[in-house]
Amino acid sequence: MGHLRRRATAVVIREDKVLLVRDQGKHHFSLPGGGVHHGELSLSAAARELYEETGLRATKVVRIFNYRGKVNEHRVFLVEADGHVHLRK
C-alpha cells in the first residue's frame, strides 16, 4: 500500500447547527477541510482550510477523531470560530 494522504477536517457547531460547505457546481455537502501541507500540523491545516473555505477564524481547535482509510488518513477537529461565513458566488 502506498503513502496515505493526510487530511484535516473542521467541525463547527453554532446554535446547535453543524457547518457544511459545498463546492460550486457540486450537489453534495461536506465538512470544511482538506489536505495537510508538508511540515504543517493537522491542527493548523484544519484552521487554515476553515478560513479558506468560509472566512471563519478558528479560536479553539481540539482533535476529536482519527480515521485511517485506504487512501486518506483523517484528523477531525472540533473548532470554535469567530466571524461570519463568507459565501462565494
Tens of pLDDT, residues 29-54: 999 999 999 999 999 999 999 999 99
Counted residue by residue, the chain has a size of 89
Residue 25, class by beta-carbon neighbours within 10 Å (0-12 exposed, 13-18 middle, 19+ buried)? exposed
Banded model confidence at residue 89, pLDDT cuts 50, 70, 90: low
Task: Enter the pTM of the model.
Answer: 0.90
Average pLDDT of the residues of the chain: 94
Q: Check: CB of residue 43 under 8 Å from CB of residue 10.
A: no
CATH of domain 5-74: 3.90.79.10
Q: Check: CB of residue 77 under 8 Å from CB of residue 41.
A: no
Residue spans of the domains in the chain: they are 5-74
- Three cell numbers written together for 12: 463547527
pLDDT tens-digit series, residues 4-21: 999 999 999 999 999 999
